[in-house]
Amino acid sequence: MNTNPTASIHIKPCNIAQSEKAKAENKAKKAKEEAEKAVEEKDEAEKKAQSAKTELFSAESKVTEKQSEIDKLDQRITAKEAMLDGLVTETAVLRKEKYSDRSDGSDGWKDSLLASFSANLMRADKRIGYCINAIKDYACSGTGCRGGHHSAGFWDEEAYTIKNVMISFAASLQATLKEIGSWLVWLANILHKFNDRELYRADKEVSDVADGEYDWRIDRIDRGRSGGITR
C-alpha cells in the first residue's frame, strides 16, 4: 500500500488538463463543422441566387423577344391597314361611278327606271330584300363603318340566298352572276347610302359569292335543308 500523501495530489491536475483539452478540441471541431456548414449554405444560397438571376434574365429575354414580335405584327397590321385605305381610296371614284344614283345627269331616267323595277322585284320576291339586308349588314360591320351583325363574311344562309338569286336572275335575264351581284350591291347602296369603305366591302364580298368562294358553305345547306332564308 502506497502511503505517500503526495501521489494523489499530482494525478488530479493532469486529468483536469486532459479533460479541458478534450472539451476545447470538441468545441473547436464543432466550430469548424458549423463554419463548414455555413460555407456550404452560403455556396448553396449563391447558387440559388445565380440560378434565379439566370432565370430572370431568360424571362426578360423572352419578354423582349415577344415584344419584338408584337411590334413587328403591329407594323404589319398598320401596313395592311394603310394598303387597304389606299385601295379603298383608289377605287372609291370608280365604285361611286359604278353604283351611284346619277339622277341629276342626262341618263338619270335609267337609274330611276331601274330603281322602280327593283322596288317591284323586292315586293314580288322576298329574297331580294333578304339579300339587300344581308349586304347592308355585312358592309356596315367593318372597322370604321357604322356597325353591323358580323364582320368575317356572309353567313351560310345569306351566301346561299345571294348565290341563288344570282343564278335565277342571270338565267332569266341572260346576265352573268357578277352582273346580278353588281345590281344587288347597287340597290343596297341606293337604299342605305354606303360610305366608300362600306361600298368596297359589299362589292368585294358579293363578287366572292359570284366567284364561288362560298360554294363549299352553300353546299352544306343544299345537303342539310331546302332554303337559305332564316330572317
Give the DSSP per-residue string, 63-110: HHHHHHHHHHHHHHHHHHHHHHHHHHHHHHHHHHHHHS--TTSTTHHH
Residue 42 lies in a domain: yes
Q: Do residues 184 and 113 both lie within one domain?
A: yes
Q: Do residues 83 and 114 both lie within one domain?
A: no
Residue 6 lies in a domain: yes
Q: Do residues 44 and 124 both lie within one domain?
A: no
Is it the case that residue 199 has pLDDT exceeding 70?
yes
Is residue 131 a contact partner of residue 119, using CB atoms and an 8 Å limit?
no
pLDDT score for 103: 47
pLDDT in tens, 8-32: 445 566 677 777 778 877 888 887 8
As given in the structure block, the three cell numbers for residue 102 are 346619277
Please report how many Cα atoms fall inside a 13 Å half-sphere around the Cα of residue 67, on the Cβ side.
6
Is residue 199 a contact partner of residue 99, using CB atoms and an 8 Å limit?
yes
Q: Do residues 139 and 41 both lie within one domain?
A: no
Q: Do residues 157 and 46 both lie within one domain?
A: no
> What 3-state DSSP class applies to 216?
helix
pLDDT in tens, 99-127: 555 545 555 555 666 666 677 777 778 89
Q: Do residues 27 and 48 both lie within one domain?
A: yes
Q: What is the mean pLDDT of residues 29-49?
A: 83
Number of domain units in the chain: 2
Say if pTM beats, i.e. exceeds, 0.85: no
Is residue 165 a contact partner of residue 126, using CB atoms and an 8 Å limit?
no
Task: Determine the structural domain holding residue 29 and report its residue range.
Answer: 1-99
pLDDT score for 143: 61
Is it the case that residue 94 has pLDDT exceeding 60?
no
Residue 229 lies in a domain: no
Q: Do residues 115 and 143 both lie within one domain?
A: yes
Given 45, 79, 99, the domain boundary residue is: 99
Q: Do residues 164 and 134 both lie within one domain?
A: yes
Residue 9 lies in a domain: yes
Q: What is the mean pLDDT of residues 50-60?
A: 83
**Interhelix angle for 196-210 vs 177-192, to 10°?**
150
pLDDT score for 145: 61
Q: Do residues 47 and 122 both lie within one domain?
A: no
Given 53, 78, 99, the domain boundary residue is: 99
Q: Do residues 154 and 219 both lie within one domain?
A: yes
Q: Do residues 17 and 85 both lie within one domain?
A: yes
CA-atom Rg of the chain in angstroms:
44
More confident residue, 149 or 58: 58
Is residue 101 a contact partner of residue 190, using CB atoms and an 8 Å limit?
yes
Residue 231 lies in a domain: no
Given 57, 79, 99, the domain boundary residue is: 99
Instruction: Count other C-beta atoms under 10 Å from residue 207's C-beta.
Output: 15
Residue 30 lies in a domain: yes
Is it the case that residue 92 has pLDDT exceeding 60?
no
Q: Do residues 115 and 86 both lie within one domain?
A: no
pLDDT band with cut points at 50, 70 and 90 for residue 134: very high
Integer Cα distance of 52 and 58 in angstroms? 10
